[in-house]
Amino acid sequence: MLTRRHVLVASTAGFVSASSDIVLEAIAQTESKPLHIILGFPAGGMTDVAARLLAERLTLSYATTVIVENKPGASGRLALENVKNSTPDGSVLLITPEGPIVVFPHSFRKLTYDPLRDLTPVAPVAKSMLAFIIGSAVPQNVRSLSEFMEWCKANPSHATFGAVAGSGPHFVGFMLARAAGVPIVHVPYKGSAVQDLLGGHVSAGISLVGDAATFDNTRQLRILAVTGLQRSRILPDVATFLESGYDIVAEPWIGIFAPARLAPEILRLLNAAIGEVVTSPKMVEQLAKYGAEPTFKTPEEFAAMIRADFERWGPVVRASGFLAD
């Protein structure tokens, strides 16, 4: 899978230790294998697009054959199980959004995996943000998050928001209601709440900013705020939660993982190869269509980010009282 040329290039860049003979031996055992990139969701969507762009470019730099496998089921957990039980030789990778890694351990009573123990963080690929949207149930003169909160106080029976139960949007809505001191009721959805927002059956919704941007500033739907540290490039006129007076930041990410106990040398080579793809103009262009942008870190930096997000979401999920099973 990895050639001696890759090892030599990585060695000069400081990625491989003096014991590169060990790496060459590992490479000799796996270089005939195709690389499998596994994701737990159907084809289409940002995670799938990122996986296929990675496959296209890694065929040139890392493996002779790269196969993207969609293994939907259990909200991404089946794919994670598949990778967890794979041989840690650099031939099987998981690409996943953050939920199964940093949220599910807090919302499920029992999981068949430990994301901090059973996987090797390789590299993040992309990050995005969420958008808070109000629909036709809310008067047209409501144009800011503070105005919406005042409207909710005056109309408590209509203070609702729709989001997939147990998702990032669900917990962002919970954090907002708690911060504002307004009992906004969560209405669970299996997918998008847009149709019910249009029909006035639910007052607000929360979705990825790329989805929200497709109907920004329509008569029925208005985007009041986004959850990024900074404003969205595709919605520059929309304030952040921070600018609106609420200390809420959520920047959902997609990352690459390998099974636990991956050799450090192979981890470095994988990280370097993925970094070249993530920073390529084509990846930037494609992610921008989803309101996302590439993000890249070393394995150590990525592991630290995961740990921080894991510890940040735990108290929020527990305070919400939500359990997925």
pLDDT tens readout for residues 197-224: 999 999 999 999 988 888 765 667 999 9
User: Does residue 288 fall inside a structural domain?
Assistant: yes
Total domains in the fold of the chain? 2
pLDDT of residue 12: 42
* Mean pLDDT rounded to a whole number for the chain: 90
Residue 278 in contact with residue 296, Cβ under 8 Å? yes
Averaged pLDDT for residues 90-117? 96
Q: How confident is the model at residue 192 (pLDDT cuts 50, 70, 90)?
A: confident
Q: Which CA distances in Å does 104 have to 78, 81, 136, 239, 323? A: 13, 13, 33, 29, 9
pLDDT per position as a tens digit, 1-34: 445 445 545 544 554 444 455 555 555 544 568 9
| pTM confidence score | 0.89
Token duo for residue 308: 């921080």
Indicate if 213 and 73 belong to the same structural domain: no
User: Does residue 243 fall inside a structural domain?
Assistant: no
Sequence-distant (≥ 6) Cβ neighbours of residue 37 within 8 angstroms: 51, 54, 55, 66, 67, 68, 69, 93, 94, 95
Indicate if 202 and 216 belong to the same structural domain: yes
Indicate if 55 and 124 belong to the same structural domain: yes
Indicate if 78 and 122 belong to the same structural domain: yes
CA angle 34, 39, 42 (to 5 degrees): 120
Which range marks the domain in which residue 271 is found?
Answer: 4-128+253-320
